[in-house]
Amino acid sequence: MGQDISRRRFVASALTGAAISSLSSGLRGFAGDVLRPGGESNSTTDSEVPLTDNPSWQDQGVLNLAKSPYAKLHSVPVRAVTIGPGFWAERRNANVTRSIPTMHDLLESHGRMNNFRRLAGKSDAPQIGKYYSDSDVYKWTEAASFAMQSEPLPQLRGTVESIIEDVCAAQKPNGYLNTYYVDDRAAQSMTPVAQEVGHELYNIGHMLQGAIAFYRATGERKMLDAGIRFVNDFLMPDYGPAPKKPIISGHPEIEMALVELYRLTGDKRQLDLAGYILQGDARITVPQTTSIYLFSGTPFTSRMRVEGHAVRCMYACCGATDYYLETGDATYWKTLNTLWDDMTASKMYVTGGVGARAQGEAFGDPYELPNARAYAESCAAVGNFMWNWRMLAATGDGKFTDVLERALYNGLNSGMSLDGTLYCYRNLLAYDPSNSEPIRNAWYETICCPPNVERTFSSLPGYFYSTSSDGIYLHLFGNSELRWRLESGTPLRITQQTDYPWGGDVDITVSPSEPGEFTVYLRIPGWTRSASVTVNGKPMDGAQPGAYFSLRRRWSSGDAIHLHMDMTPQALEASPYVAEDLGRVAIQRGPLVYCLEQIDQPDGVALGDLSLALGAKDDAGFQSEFKSDLLGGVAVLRHGGASLQPSSSRDTLYPRSSSGPLYSPYQAGAHGSNRGSAPLTFIPYYAWANRQPSAMEVWTPVTEA
Amino acid sequence: MGQDISRRRFVASALTGAAISSLSSGLRGFAGDVLRPGGESNSTTDSEVPLTDNPSWQDQGVLNLAKSPYAKLHSVPVRAVTIGPGFWAERRNANVTRSIPTMHDLLESHGRMNNFRRLAGKSDAPQIGKYYSDSDVYKWTEAASFAMQSEPLPQLRGTVESIIEDVCAAQKPNGYLNTYYVDDRAAQSMTPVAQEVGHELYNIGHMLQGAIAFYRATGERKMLDAGIRFVNDFLMPDYGPAPKKPIISGHPEIEMALVELYRLTGDKRQLDLAGYILQGDARITVPQTTSIYLFSGTPFTSRMRVEGHAVRCMYACCGATDYYLETGDATYWKTLNTLWDDMTASKMYVTGGVGARAQGEAFGDPYELPNARAYAESCAAVGNFMWNWRMLAATGDGKFTDVLERALYNGLNSGMSLDGTLYCYRNLLAYDPSNSEPIRNAWYETICCPPNVERTFSSLPGYFYSTSSDGIYLHLFGNSELRWRLESGTPLRITQQTDYPWGGDVDITVSPSEPGEFTVYLRIPGWTRSASVTVNGKPMDGAQPGAYFSLRRRWSSGDAIHLHMDMTPQALEASPYVAEDLGRVAIQRGPLVYCLEQIDQPDGVALGDLSLALGAKDDAGFQSEFKSDLLGGVAVLRHGGASLQPSSSRDTLYPRSSSGPLYSPYQAGAHGSNRGSAPLTFIPYYAWANRQPSAMEVWTPVTEA
């Protein structure tokens, strides 16, 4: 498994954050720079640590797959893509200008940073928050650092540097770093029980990811060195295969962080440690139910289904795919595909959310996809997104991009309010405000989701494209400019002009610095019924929904691709085995899943009494209208519907005093015939719950027209 | 609230168990006997405790409502009704000959009785089981005692008496009795926290119910006296309204036990204590979510819905109705009806099961009634049954009998296997053996349900009839003989001959010892479309489904009533707000809800691919066939159906490798048109899971024929 990867020594680098160039400063070749740690590192170890012949820090992508032998696709740096005005610019703006700053203040006011300062003697506040609270700070640091990969943001950088100071000051001389397992709790640290439930390695996984993102933003490696010390100085000498002390992951996360660290340092021990953790250690035995819940403790390659805690499961799959990308281990690849098939065939919401059950925040049985009782944690959608990115990198297969995009635009996007200050923990597919607590909140005691969504949005430019040995892949649509290079070294600029996701036309210019033959792999989404492509006005045959359309030719600067995707709204039905979706449809237009909110429907009818009147035609007959003044600008969909009964308007999903009995003799067609007509207005799901509390429904009953 | 209730002193009685007469020994008048404690009571208090002018012990019903001022109906003793061969005789036989004896042995082998012996120095086994384990022994004692109310069962009585010895020997001199809160845990006893979660009063509630049932079986009051000591000597002096220490019920149960004790002793302090507990004590404050879960801690009369832990909620409703029956408190009555309406309009399964959620074993939101994920604990169905019995006693309204019968025949009856040795804790409405643990088990560490079902079946003869000031109510149908008396004192014999629930004809003879005018209130079930009644062959107009048909006339010995109920199988649909039941029907015939088990369906089709082909006719067209060799003898129902696709037969609810995608474009009518025909065979729900593990479904998709 795997092969020799050439290494060289990671020696001092003079690069600093000040060296960050703005996107307009042009393209760079592979630097292969010799790096060295930032100036003030308080490293207690030899500062020379192994390094593979990486691209330079500023040229590394969200994942640094440049040297990953089983990655077909290779990331482009976040800074290589500038997102122009449009859908994601709006979301990015909310993220960078509102969400990241306000979340910082909330983390601060809830004592999360003081936990570190306390250990450095800079605060006398008590320890506060759960054993996983450190990870919130790290994940926020990662989110901020990805934002800094796109632009300098000096004030934010100052804040992050100050946090890094505090974090590093809290590290023990032996490399251990955790603000919870200290003082009276120190004796429990790294015991098997604490590993199972204490999130120590989970925290460090996020610490490493934050450190790497900051390093890739600034070239500063103080936090990175602290992370390396934890791994190399604290963890490796004492923990691992016998005769060392055993490890159980508990909450998978460290695995993908270790592989990414390996990608940075070239230290194969870090990769091996990830593999050891993914395999589990038979010396720590846990009951089967615990192993299912933890999605760790037994060999990853023995898994047959996605199960247990959904975030744990998704993170484990991310780590295992990362491990595969470096090692090519066929057993891992088989398992990963088995799990992906299981998830997408029976356990994923139409929104790309996963994890049906509140109990254990877990995957349910096959086809167990309740709507009002959905869990679909934002973090799990992030995990689904990240996992599919890795599967895509391994294959270039558009089926992974389809899932990635579904989660991104819907079940992940819904996790942050339009203004960037409120967050969903659960992402329900039906909602009755009279039954439920507020669904969007500024703060949760378990604040995992908000910074997780933040880091995804911050890093999003890095997901638009990948390079391959023979060209470039275009994954995501949106106004944007890529300035990067082909793997041949030829600088390349690509622009996209589009109203996506509101419109299905994309104008793409491909501008290599010099003419040359290569392939543009143009994604044709699986959701479209048909797509057409022209190059410099000439129709190109063969675009297939769900696949990348391979455009191999000699490209010259300014070559123009036009992509047209049929965005006719579609009514989707679920497998008849999904109990709650029988007789219902979900509406999708382009990548966006739609929903009904009570507030948009006619007065006098409860949402639960409405149905959609559909005929047998292929075209379901929706009217699409872009409303620039609604919800930050959305295309609403209108369609004829039916209402079961007139009832006074109420802000509940179902009328509280039903006119009918709970059970009554079946009458064929009675529901349809008793209904009056009612015009329905659908909004994109991601934008729900951004006005007053209002009942919401994704899966709408059908009345056959 | 309430009125003076005359009392006299509870003085010595010479009656013993040996004095129990068999049913054949004839009828008795109101005895008004003077009772005294059993011989060997180790009472530390004055043995003379207050007593109301009750019927004698052997004339008291399941509830002793003889003197309850707000009870319109009054119980008949269990022994007054002899159940003849037929449906309930079979279940009673399994209960008495298999379930009760084997459950005794299991309780013994799992150390539940040794917990008591240990405290008496008769066992050195360690304490075992949870803090509520005492209640299992008490509930089993109650089940056995109800059985002894029908027949002497000397061997069983010996066993019970031995247990009573051990229980009483474990009681502390101050009256306290609990095998868990002893030794190191004694300091926690009766603290507010322990009351919330420790079930101390819950245990004593069951102890009192067991003691009362044994007393009513035998006249022996050793255990009863021990219970009175707990209440009067331990609890009352120190716990109650300020300045005493406060009480929170934690798990309601003590309330109904205290009211029943009051009915026995006439000691109004016991009724007042029940009222105090139902009201909650503001000195113990619990968070709102806890109060909802516990269904205690806030005034019962402030409740607006059934919510929280379903068994707690049902038991609280039982206790509150008992309190109402004694006090006539209109606030209670209003609340009880509000809760009943809430439950039956939106939160009760078609099986009469309640409590949709596994998490918190709780009621869900309105219309939240998942099938495969149903909880519907057997205990909650027992609670629903018991509550409706009390509501019926208050009103004589057949709507309560309909719910009572629905729970009894279906969601409660399903809780015990046909052979009486295996039990359901959850009573699912859809089941996939490949997803789930075995659904029927001989033992659960929390063994609340089996003895709860046992005590219901043991006491069932006591639910067939009630008396009222003007006559007699016939509630339940089944071959049986009542030997009792009207409230006027006139001895009365009533026989029923019927194949119920397999047939809808009931021949009833009414034989007062002397002719006289009174009313026979004949229940016409709400589930029947029509019913006809004759008296001595003469048609009687006015029988309305869902109501008691009032037959007032001069009755003479041998007068014959014939009741015919239309038992045509019906397809029921649920409110369209029940998400999982949309497009599905449940089949009911008479009081029995039916289901599909995979094992009865054609080979080669997975249950999840089957649908029922229904036309628009009123008569759904089922063929009913009694199969004496199947499941102890059941009427199966056959009907044409359709199968979505041919698939190899698998013992799963849904095919594991679906041929279709999870989400696909909606096609009107496609599900129907793609189906082939398949004959379906339904069995009664209560009998499910009595063969090999097999997928099961109550709510079947409909294909309109």
Q: What is the Cα Rg of chain B in Å?
A: 25
DSSP assignment of B297-311, as one string? SS-GGG--S--SBHH
CATH tag, B465-567:
2.60.40.1180
CATH tag, B74-463:
1.50.10
pLDDT of residue B434: 85
Cβ contact, residue pair B668, A608, below 8 Å = no
Min Cα–Cα distance to chain B from A647, Å: 14
Mean pLDDT of B89-113: 97
* CB contacts, 8 Å: A344 with chain B: 662
pLDDT of residue A436: 76
DSSP β-bridge partners for residue A430: A697
Cβ contact, residue pair B346, A577, below 8 Å = no
Q: Is residue B26 over pLDDT 50?
A: no
Name the pLDDT band for B15 (thresholds 50, 70, 90).
very low
Token pair for B640: 């044409």
* CB contacts, 8 Å: B668 with chain A: 614-616, 702, 704
Interface test with A, best of B575, B618, B622, B645 (most A CBs within 10 A): B575
pLDDT of residue A126: 93
Min Cα–Cα distance to chain A from B616, Å: 5
All residues at 6 or more sequence positions from A484 whose CB lies less than 8 Å from its CB, including other chains: A27, A76, A77, A80, A81, A465, A467, A491, A492
Position B555, amino acid: W
Token pair for A155: 């004030």
Any idea which fold A49-53+60-463 has? Glycosyltransferase (1.50.10)
pLDDT tens by residue, A543-591: 999 999 999 999 999 999 999 999 999 999 999 899 999 999 999 999 9
Which has the closest alpha carbon to A361: A385, A335, A379?
Answer: A379
Mean pLDDT of A386-401: 98
* CB contacts, 8 Å: B665 with chain A: 570-573, 618
Name the pLDDT band for B42 (thresholds 50, 70, 90).
very low
Instruction: Tell me which residue has tokens 């006619």.
Output: A602
pLDDT tens by residue, B581-611: 999 999 999 999 999 999 999 887 889 889 9
Q: Higher confidence at residue A28 or residue B357?
A: B357
A668: nearest CB among B373, B615, B656: B615
Q: Is residue B651 over pLDDT 60?
A: no
Strands A592-597 and A676-684: antiparallel
pLDDT tens by residue, A88-125: 999 999 999 999 999 999 999 999 999 999 999 999 99
Chain B residue at shortest CA distance from A573: B666
Using alpha carbons only, give the angle B425, B429, B435 rounded to the nearest 5 degrees: 75
Cβ contact, residue pair A345, B572, below 8 Å = no
Contact A355, A311 (CB under 8 A): yes
A373: nearest CB among B368, B430, B669: B368
B584: nearest CB among A358, A574, A582: A582
pLDDT tens by residue, B421-435: 999 999 999 999 888
Q: Is residue A469 over pLDDT 70?
A: yes
ipTM: 0.88
A570: nearest CB among B576, B618, B665: B665
Name the pLDDT band for A648 (thresholds 50, 70, 90).
very low
* CB contacts, 8 Å: B671 with chain A: 576
pLDDT of residue A173: 96
pLDDT of residue B20: 29
Min Cα–Cα distance to chain A from B364, Å: 9
* CB contacts, 8 Å: A661 with chain B: 345, 575
Half-sphere CA count of A21, side-chain side, radius 13 A: 12
A679 preceded by a cis bond (ω within 30 of 0): no
pLDDT tens by residue, B120-176: 999 999 999 999 999 999 999 999 999 999 999 999 999 999 999 999 999 999 999
Q: Is residue B43 over pLDDT 60?
A: no
All residues at 6 or more sequence positions from A180 whose CB lies less than 8 Å from its CB, including other chains: A115, A127, A129, A130, A131, A133, A134, A198
Strands (E), B395-470: 423-424, 430-431, 440-441, 465-468
Q: What are phi and psi of A351, to 5 degrees?
A: -85, -5
Min Cα–Cα distance to chain B from A279, Å: 25
Domain range annotation of chain B: 74-463, 465-567, 572-704
Q: At what angle do helices B268-279 and B254-265 cross, to 10 degrees?
A: 160
pLDDT tens by residue, A596-621: 999 999 887 889 889 999 986 656 78
Torsion of CA A700, A412, A59, A63, to 10 degrees: -100
- How much of chain B, in percent, has pLDDT values that exceed 90? 83
CA atoms of B593 and B326, how far apart (whole Å): 35
Using alpha carbons only, give the angle A92, A98, A103 rounded to the nearest 5 degrees: 110
pLDDT of residue A605: 80
pLDDT of residue A603: 82
**H/E run at residue B657:** none
Mean pLDDT of A225-239: 97
Token pair for B97: 């000959």
Q: Is residue B656 over pLDDT 90?
A: no
Query: How buried is B553 (Cβ within 10 angstroms: 0-12 exposed, 13-18 middle, 19+ buried)?
Result: middle
B572: nearest CB among A578, A620, A666: A666
* CB contacts, 8 Å: B359 with chain A: 358-359
* CB contacts, 8 Å: A373 with chain B: 364, 368, 370
Name the pLDDT band for B649 (thresholds 50, 70, 90).
very low
Token pair for A460: 């999003």
Min Cα–Cα distance to chain B from A130, Å: 21
Cβ contact, residue pair A614, B344, below 8 Å = no
pLDDT of residue B674: 55
Cβ contact, residue pair B616, A667, below 8 Å = yes
Cβ contact, residue pair A572, B368, below 8 Å = no
Token pair for B549: 């048909």
**H/E run at residue A336:** helix A330-346
B590: left (phi over 0), alpha (psi -120 to 50) or beta: left
Q: Is residue B53 over pLDDT 70?
A: no
Contact B367, A372 (CB under 8 A): no
Name the pLDDT band for A1 (thresholds 50, 70, 90).
very low
Token pair for A471: 């060209």
pLDDT of residue B589: 98
CA atoms of A167 and A148, how far apart (whole Å): 19
Cβ contact, residue pair A371, B656, below 8 Å = no
